[in-house]
Amino acid sequence: MSGDDADATGKGFDEVMDALRSDEVVAHVEAQNINSTVRLNYNDHGTQHIGIVRNHALSMLELMRDDVPLGVEDHDLDMGYEEAKVVVACGATLHDVGHLVHRDEHTKFSVVLADDILDDVLSGYPTRERIALKSDVLHTIYCHHSGNEPLTPEAGVVRVADALDMTRGRSRLPYDEGQRSIHTVSSQAIEDVEVKDGSDEFDVPVLVEIHMTNSAGVYQIDSLLKSKLSGSGIEDYVRIVAINEGQDDIVGRIEL
User: Does 1.10.8 match the CATH number of domain 3-162?
Assistant: no
**Would you list the domain boundaries of the chain?**
3-162, 182-255
With a cut of 90, say whether residue 13 has pLDDT above it: yes
pLDDT for position 108: 96
Determine the Cα–Cα distance for residues 137 and 122; give it in Å rounded to an integer: 11
pTM for the structure as a whole = 0.90
For residue 29, the model assigns a pLDDT of 97
167: Cα separation from own chain's centroid: 15
Q: pLDDT category, 2, cuts 50, 70, 90?
A: very low
CA angle 150, 70, 13 (to 5 degrees): 105
Higher pLDDT, 80 or 176: 80
Nearest Cα residue to 64 out of 168, 179, 154, 175: 154
